[in-house]
Structure 1
Protein backbone atom coordinates (compact mmCIF):
# COMPACT_ATOMS: atom_id res chain seq x y z
CA UNK A 1 0.00 0.00 0.00
CA UNK A 2 1.28 3.42 -0.92
CA UNK A 3 -0.40 6.36 0.79
CA UNK A 4 -0.27 9.91 -0.49
CA UNK A 5 0.14 12.96 1.68
CA UNK A 6 -2.97 15.06 1.20
CA UNK A 7 -5.57 12.25 1.42
CA UNK A 8 -3.97 10.87 4.58
CA UNK A 9 -3.69 14.37 6.05
CA UNK A 10 -7.38 14.89 5.23
CA UNK A 11 -8.25 11.72 7.16
CA UNK A 12 -6.19 12.87 10.14
CA UNK A 13 -7.77 16.34 9.99
CA UNK A 14 -11.25 14.80 9.84
CA UNK A 15 -10.51 12.64 12.89
CA UNK A 16 -9.19 15.68 14.76
CA UNK A 17 -12.25 17.69 13.70
CA UNK A 18 -14.49 15.01 15.19
CA UNK A 19 -12.49 14.75 18.40
CA UNK A 20 -11.57 18.40 18.97
CA UNK A 21 -13.76 20.58 16.77
CA UNK A 22 -12.73 23.09 14.16
CA UNK A 23 -12.48 26.41 15.96
CA UNK A 24 -9.67 28.93 16.01
CA UNK A 25 -8.09 27.27 19.04
CA UNK A 26 -7.93 23.92 17.27
CA UNK A 27 -6.37 25.53 14.18
CA UNK A 28 -3.76 27.11 16.45
CA UNK A 29 -3.04 23.75 18.10
CA UNK A 30 -2.47 22.15 14.71
CA UNK A 31 -0.10 24.94 13.74
CA UNK A 32 1.76 24.53 17.04
CA UNK A 33 2.05 20.80 16.32
CA UNK A 34 4.19 21.68 13.30
CA UNK A 35 6.56 23.56 15.60
CA UNK A 36 6.59 20.70 18.08
CA UNK A 37 7.54 18.24 15.36
CA UNK A 38 10.22 20.61 14.04
CA UNK A 39 11.66 20.72 17.56
CA UNK A 40 11.78 16.92 17.62
CA UNK A 41 13.62 16.94 14.28
CA UNK A 42 16.09 19.42 15.72
CA UNK A 43 16.56 17.30 18.84
CA UNK A 44 17.22 14.25 16.67
CA UNK A 45 19.83 16.21 14.70
CA UNK A 46 21.52 17.33 17.92
CA UNK A 47 21.51 13.69 19.02
CA UNK A 48 22.90 12.59 15.67
CA UNK A 49 25.80 15.03 15.91
CA UNK A 50 26.49 14.40 19.59
CA UNK A 51 26.22 18.09 20.46
CA UNK A 52 24.96 17.29 23.95
CA UNK A 53 28.06 15.92 25.73
CA UNK A 54 25.93 14.38 28.44
CA UNK A 55 24.00 12.25 25.93
CA UNK A 56 26.60 11.76 23.20
CA UNK A 57 25.45 10.38 19.88
CA UNK A 58 21.91 9.19 20.48
CA UNK A 59 20.22 9.45 17.06
CA UNK A 60 20.86 8.51 13.44
CA UNK A 61 20.21 10.16 10.10
CA UNK A 62 17.20 7.83 9.83
CA UNK A 63 15.84 9.31 13.08
CA UNK A 64 16.21 12.84 11.67
CA UNK A 65 14.51 11.79 8.42
CA UNK A 66 11.66 10.18 10.37
CA UNK A 67 11.12 13.35 12.40
CA UNK A 68 11.21 15.48 9.25
CA UNK A 69 8.46 13.28 7.81
CA UNK A 70 6.43 14.02 10.95
CA UNK A 71 6.95 17.75 10.30
CA UNK A 72 5.66 17.39 6.75
CA UNK A 73 2.62 15.39 7.87
CA UNK A 74 1.83 17.84 10.68
CA UNK A 75 2.08 20.75 8.23
CA UNK A 76 -0.25 19.01 5.78
CA UNK A 77 -2.77 18.38 8.56
CA UNK A 78 -2.54 22.00 9.71
CA UNK A 79 -3.00 23.19 6.12
CA UNK A 80 -6.52 21.73 6.20
CA UNK A 81 -7.41 24.24 8.94
CA UNK A 82 -6.49 27.21 6.75
CA UNK A 83 -7.83 26.35 3.31
CA UNK A 84 -10.69 24.41 1.78
CA UNK A 85 -8.41 23.33 -1.07
CA UNK A 86 -5.17 22.04 0.48
CA UNK A 87 -4.20 19.89 -2.53
CA UNK A 88 -4.66 22.81 -4.92
CA UNK A 89 -2.76 25.20 -2.65
CA UNK A 90 0.13 22.77 -2.18
CA UNK A 91 0.35 22.05 -5.91
CA UNK A 92 0.25 25.77 -6.70
CA UNK A 93 3.07 26.41 -4.24
CA UNK A 94 5.16 23.51 -5.56
CA UNK A 95 4.65 24.73 -9.13
CA UNK A 96 5.77 28.25 -8.14
CA UNK A 97 8.89 26.90 -6.44
CA UNK A 98 9.68 24.71 -9.44
CA UNK A 99 9.27 27.70 -11.74
CA UNK A 100 11.66 29.76 -9.60
CA UNK A 101 14.20 26.93 -9.70
CA UNK A 102 13.94 26.75 -13.46
CA UNK A 103 14.27 30.53 -13.77
CA UNK A 104 17.29 30.56 -11.45
CA UNK A 105 18.95 27.70 -13.35
CA UNK A 106 18.42 29.56 -16.61
CA UNK A 107 19.91 32.75 -15.16
CA UNK A 108 22.98 30.83 -13.97
CA UNK A 109 23.45 29.34 -17.42
CA UNK A 110 23.92 32.82 -18.96
Structure 2
Protein backbone atom coordinates (compact mmCIF):
# COMPACT_ATOMS: atom_id res chain seq x y z
CA UNK A 1 0.00 0.00 0.00
CA UNK A 2 2.99 2.33 0.43
CA UNK A 3 3.49 2.43 -3.34
CA UNK A 4 -0.17 3.36 -3.75
CA UNK A 5 0.18 6.40 -1.51
CA UNK A 6 3.47 7.37 -3.18
CA UNK A 7 1.71 7.25 -6.54
CA UNK A 8 -1.24 9.27 -5.21
CA UNK A 9 1.14 11.88 -3.78
CA UNK A 10 2.94 12.06 -7.12
CA UNK A 11 -0.35 12.53 -8.98
CA UNK A 12 -1.40 15.32 -6.60
CA UNK A 13 1.97 17.06 -6.97
CA UNK A 14 1.68 16.84 -10.75
CA UNK A 15 -1.78 18.40 -10.69
CA UNK A 16 -0.68 21.10 -8.25
CA UNK A 17 2.25 22.03 -10.48
CA UNK A 18 -0.13 22.73 -13.37
CA UNK A 19 -2.52 25.16 -11.71
CA UNK A 20 -2.39 28.67 -10.35
CA UNK A 21 -5.23 27.89 -7.94
CA UNK A 22 -4.44 27.48 -4.27
CA UNK A 23 -5.99 25.89 -1.21
CA UNK A 24 -9.73 25.46 -1.30
CA UNK A 25 -9.89 26.38 -4.99
CA UNK A 26 -7.72 23.34 -5.79
CA UNK A 27 -9.97 21.20 -3.64
CA UNK A 28 -13.09 22.46 -5.37
CA UNK A 29 -11.66 21.71 -8.81
CA UNK A 30 -10.79 18.19 -7.62
CA UNK A 31 -14.34 17.75 -6.29
CA UNK A 32 -15.75 18.81 -9.67
CA UNK A 33 -13.36 16.33 -11.33
CA UNK A 34 -14.66 13.63 -8.97
CA UNK A 35 -18.22 14.42 -10.04
CA UNK A 36 -17.15 14.16 -13.69
CA UNK A 37 -15.66 10.72 -13.04
CA UNK A 38 -18.83 9.54 -11.29
CA UNK A 39 -20.77 10.59 -14.38
CA UNK A 40 -18.43 8.50 -16.51
CA UNK A 41 -19.19 5.43 -14.38
CA UNK A 42 -22.89 6.05 -14.91
CA UNK A 43 -22.39 6.47 -18.66
CA UNK A 44 -20.40 3.23 -18.84
CA UNK A 45 -23.05 1.33 -16.84
CA UNK A 46 -25.81 2.61 -19.10
CA UNK A 47 -23.69 1.60 -22.08
CA UNK A 48 -23.04 -1.86 -20.64
CA UNK A 49 -26.77 -2.35 -20.25
CA UNK A 50 -27.45 -0.94 -23.72
CA UNK A 51 -29.99 1.50 -22.30
CA UNK A 52 -29.10 4.48 -24.48
CA UNK A 53 -31.13 3.93 -27.67
CA UNK A 54 -28.79 6.17 -29.64
CA UNK A 55 -25.62 4.31 -28.61
CA UNK A 56 -26.74 0.76 -27.78
CA UNK A 57 -24.17 -1.41 -26.00
CA UNK A 58 -21.34 1.10 -26.11
CA UNK A 59 -19.45 -0.26 -23.05
CA UNK A 60 -18.84 -3.49 -21.19
CA UNK A 61 -18.54 -4.21 -17.48
CA UNK A 62 -14.74 -3.92 -17.60
CA UNK A 63 -15.27 -0.33 -18.76
CA UNK A 64 -17.45 0.21 -15.68
CA UNK A 65 -14.71 -1.24 -13.46
CA UNK A 66 -12.10 1.06 -15.04
CA UNK A 67 -14.31 4.10 -14.54
CA UNK A 68 -14.93 3.06 -10.92
CA UNK A 69 -11.16 2.93 -10.44
CA UNK A 70 -10.93 6.45 -11.85
CA UNK A 71 -13.48 7.55 -9.24
CA UNK A 72 -11.46 5.95 -6.44
CA UNK A 73 -8.16 7.47 -7.61
CA UNK A 74 -9.72 10.90 -8.03
CA UNK A 75 -11.23 10.76 -4.54
CA UNK A 76 -7.95 9.68 -2.97
CA UNK A 77 -6.05 12.41 -4.83
CA UNK A 78 -8.56 14.85 -3.35
CA UNK A 79 -7.62 13.63 0.14
CA UNK A 80 -3.94 14.08 -0.67
CA UNK A 81 -4.47 17.58 -2.07
CA UNK A 82 -6.36 18.58 1.08
CA UNK A 83 -3.26 17.95 3.19
CA UNK A 84 -2.83 16.39 6.58
CA UNK A 85 -2.27 12.65 6.65
CA UNK A 86 -4.60 11.30 3.96
CA UNK A 87 -3.60 7.69 4.53
CA UNK A 88 -4.45 7.88 8.23
CA UNK A 89 -7.69 9.74 7.50
CA UNK A 90 -8.79 7.19 4.90
CA UNK A 91 -7.86 4.16 7.00
CA UNK A 92 -9.55 5.60 10.09
CA UNK A 93 -12.69 6.34 8.10
CA UNK A 94 -12.63 2.85 6.61
CA UNK A 95 -12.42 1.38 10.13
CA UNK A 96 -15.45 3.44 11.19
CA UNK A 97 -17.44 2.33 8.13
CA UNK A 98 -16.51 -1.29 8.76
CA UNK A 99 -17.50 -1.00 12.42
CA UNK A 100 -20.96 0.24 11.39
CA UNK A 101 -21.50 -2.95 9.42
CA UNK A 102 -20.77 -5.28 12.33
CA UNK A 103 -23.84 -7.04 13.74
CA UNK A 104 -25.05 -5.54 16.98
CA UNK A 105 -25.73 -7.87 19.89
CA UNK A 106 -29.41 -8.54 20.47
CA UNK A 107 -30.58 -7.81 23.99
CA UNK A 108 -31.98 -10.86 25.80
TM-score band, normalised by shorter chain:
0.7 to 0.9
Matched ranges for 1:14-53 at <5 A: 14-21=13-20, 23=22, 24-53=24-53
| 1:80 maps onto 2:101 in alignment | no
Aligned-residue RMSD, C-alpha:
2.1
Where does structure 2 lack aligned partners over 5 or more consecutive residues?
Answer: none
- Alignment: residue pair count: 106
Q: Which residue of 1 aligns with 2:4?
A: 5
Report the CA distance between 1:28 and its aligned residue.
1.1
Q: Helix, strand or coil: the match of 1:55? A: coil
CA 1:91 to 1:68, structure 2 compared with 1: closer, same or farther past 3 Å? same
TM-score by length of 1: 0.85
Q: Which residue of 2 aligns with 1:93?
A: 93
Name the structure where helix makes up a greater proportion of residues: 1
CA 1:76 to 1:21, structure 2 compared with 1: closer, same or farther past 3 Å? farther
Report the CA distance between 1:22 and its aligned residue.
5.4
Q: Which runs of at least 4 in structure 1 moved beyond 2 Å after TM superposition?
A: 2-7, 105-108
